[in-house]
A and B are shown apart, each in its own frame.
Chain A
């Protein structure tokens, strides 16, 4: 099961046939495992990883903008981290949200069409939420690696390939 998950995580387009061939299982067995993982919510969905810098060089000139926001929270009885978190992650602009140890509580990663849009969101929506004590916004300048995927170099087989 772990092996199948790892294969899919690396390439979600692998067919059940491919996975069966690689793991020495039958196609039916692989299909059943994947179905169960999907039903149990272990596999949430299959997506494509997009390098938006490459996209900007093409037709779509829109300049997407991302920021990491450190949020400090004041909690009250019946109004804990999870409640504040839910109010935050429901905004479609929020790409990721983590509860953190250390000097702040929530880390929000947000995406917008422009710097202005993000500033507006932070000032208008996030900072004014009840329970939010402070925010600190850091704009992302460049993505080098995200979720195991390196964005900057293309992988190719560079073996010289002579003797052994």
Chain B
């Protein structure tokens, strides 16, 4: 019989809350705190996108859209993705979602059976493990810290078993900014095909790559389309985090399954956000480039500042994060962990960063700094971090 003792789902009770969020509740109310914690652009959405959305709002475009999302948007996305060598049919292979987050949730539920193994390259964004966990999948954490913070085919091969169903990748990576080099992706692609895996490619940071590097989509490699789920969105490059709009692309047979979940749980992404996104793809390339350059400049400043303080950083090729090595830092003669470092930095030096431990295996010993903050604040933050390190 039902009782008050089991009023919640055991599965959900056992699901840990996001470590980032837990940490950020400490910040509220601290005015002089400089936050390098939030993973979002410090630019508002480019004006023409906001203006376009406003126009549609004024004209009363406030309805649902097709579950798939507006066809015009899917067509723009199909066109846009060809620049990465990805070819998707806007009618059957592209779905507009409530950000990449929803896409990850529904696609995992559509591919994983209880007991299936999913390899997650960690440290990684905080939603991958819990969302796979509620599918009763076996999580296989792959520690990329041993291979310079990107997965190698050689190391992956050792943990693939007949139960392995999927591989989760993110390049450029949150929280490290690391990119998987093309030649390594090619080797990983061979493994994926050989073992018949699904590869989930979170490419939300694909526009934010620096020093002339080129983003490589695994789905564009020969024969990979049938094995790839490409996840992307507008939050980061177009500075549209609050619009909650993303998309996923995959073969039509998988899409049929995913589509059911999307239809029941989300219906569709907000129509206004969809109109904004169309405008973004049509006319915002120069704005995106301006923002990218500004992140690159701030990355340079941060990397140099941190190095001068004596801290090593994981080579940040893209995104707007820096994964800072704090393994040599001692408090009272004892090596500290990333959470202790972050708490001390926040409480005594008023700078918020995220402890690496929240990003899974391989994250301990590091903290994530997001440098999407104005230059003067970055300089103060560097000074404060320097004071903590010197102490």
B340 located at the interface, meaning its Cβ lies under 8 Å from any Cβ of chain A in the complex: no
Choose one: B18, B24, B300; the contact of A161 (CB below 8 Å): B24
Q: Which residue of A lies closest to B125 (CB)?
A: A164
Which residues of A does B touch, CB under 8 Å? 3, 7, 18, 21-24, 157-164
B280 located at the interface, meaning its Cβ lies under 8 Å from any Cβ of chain A in the complex: no
Q: Is the CB of A22 within 8 A of B40?
A: no
Contacts A23-B300, A159-B38, A164-B39 known; A18 to B24 CB distance under 8 Å? no
A7 / chain B contacts, CB cutoff of 8 Å: 297
Q: Which residue of A lies closest to B373 (CB)?
A: A157
Q: Is the CB of A18 within 8 A of B375?
A: yes
The complex places the Cα of A51 from the Cα of B101 at a distance, in Å, of 44
The complex places the Cα of A158 from the Cα of B42 at a distance, in Å, of 9
Q: Which residue of A lies closest to B27 (CB)?
A: A161
- Tell me how far the C-beta of A17 lies from the nearest C-beta in chain B, rounded to whole angstroms: 10
Q: Which residue of B lies closest to A11 (CB)?
A: B375
- Tell me how far the C-beta of A147 lies from the nearest C-beta in chain B, rounded to whole angstroms: 17
Q: Which residue of B lies closest to A163 (CB)?
A: B21
B304 located at the interface, meaning its Cβ lies under 8 Å from any Cβ of chain A in the complex: yes
- Tell me how far the C-beta of A29 lies from the nearest C-beta in chain B, rounded to whole angstroms: 13
Q: Is the CB of A23 within 8 A of B40?
A: no
Q: Is the CB of B297 within 8 A of A163?
A: no
- Tell me how far the C-beta of B349 lies from the nearest C-beta in chain A, rounded to whole angstroms: 18
Q: Which residue of A lies closest to B372 (CB)?
A: A159
Q: Is the CB of A163 within 8 A of B18?
A: yes
Given contacts A161-B35, A164-B241, 6 further A-B contacts (CB under 8 A): A21-B300, A21-B305, A22-B297, A163-B21, A164-B39, A164-B40
A160 / chain B contacts, CB cutoff of 8 Å: 242
Residue from B18, B242, B301 whose CB has the most chain A CB atoms within 10 Å: B301
The complex places the Cα of A36 from the Cα of B241 at a distance, in Å, of 42
B374 located at the interface, meaning its Cβ lies under 8 Å from any Cβ of chain A in the complex: yes
Contacts A7-B297, A18-B375 known; A161 to B38 CB distance under 8 Å? yes
Interface residues of B in 1-48 (CB under 8 A from A): 18, 20-21, 24, 27, 35, 37-40, 42, 44
B298 located at the interface, meaning its Cβ lies under 8 Å from any Cβ of chain A in the complex: yes
B38 / chain A contacts, CB cutoff of 8 Å: 159, 161-162, 164
Contacts A162-B38, A164-B241 known; A22 to B300 CB distance under 8 Å? yes
B174 / chain A contacts, CB cutoff of 8 Å: 164
Contact with A along B283-326 (1 / 0, CB 8 A): 00000000001000110110011000000000000000000000
A159 / chain B contacts, CB cutoff of 8 Å: 38, 40, 42
Choose one: A3, A23, A164; the contact of B20 (CB below 8 Å): A164
Q: Which residue of A lies closest to B382 (CB)?
A: A21
The complex places the Cα of A23 from the Cα of B211 at a distance, in Å, of 10
Q: Is the CB of A22 within 8 A of B20?
A: no
B300 / chain A contacts, CB cutoff of 8 Å: 21-24
Q: Which residue of B lies closest to A14 (CB)?
A: B375
B44 / chain A contacts, CB cutoff of 8 Å: 158
Q: Is the CB of A161 within 8 A of B37?
A: yes
Interface residues of B in 139-153 (CB under 8 A from A): none
Choose one: B42, B298, B373; the contact of A22 (CB below 8 Å): B298
Q: Is the CB of A21 within 8 A of B301?
A: yes
Q: Is the CB of A22 within 8 A of B21?
A: no
B35 / chain A contacts, CB cutoff of 8 Å: 161
- Tell me how far the C-beta of A162 lies from the nearest C-beta in chain B, rounded to whole angstroms: 6
The complex places the Cα of A3 from the Cα of B38 at a distance, in Å, of 27
B374 / chain A contacts, CB cutoff of 8 Å: 157
B24 / chain A contacts, CB cutoff of 8 Å: 161-163
Q: Which residue of A lies closest to B99 (CB)?
A: A164
Residue from B37, B38, B44, B241 whose CB has the most chain A CB atoms within 10 Å: B38
Q: Is the CB of A21 within 8 A of B304?
A: yes
The complex places the Cα of A164 from the Cα of B235 at a distance, in Å, of 11
- Tell me how far the C-beta of B87 lies from the nearest C-beta in chain A, rounded to whole angstroms: 29
A24 / chain B contacts, CB cutoff of 8 Å: 300, 304
A18 / chain B contacts, CB cutoff of 8 Å: 301, 375
- Tell me how far the C-beta of B103 lies from the nearest C-beta in chain A, rounded to whole angstroms: 14
Q: Which residue of A lies closest to B242 (CB)?
A: A160
16 residue pairs from A and B, CB less than 8 Å apart: A3-B293, A3-B297, A22-B297, A22-B298, A24-B304, A157-B42, A159-B40, A161-B35, A161-B37, A161-B38, A161-B40, A163-B20, A163-B21, A164-B20, A164-B40, A164-B174
Q: Is the CB of B18 within 8 A of A23?
A: no
Q: Which residue of B lies closest to A10 (CB)?
A: B294
B373 / chain A contacts, CB cutoff of 8 Å: 157
The complex places the Cα of A57 from the Cα of B110 at a distance, in Å, of 63
Residue from B21, B35, B297 whose CB has the most chain A CB atoms within 10 Å: B297
A3 / chain B contacts, CB cutoff of 8 Å: 293, 297
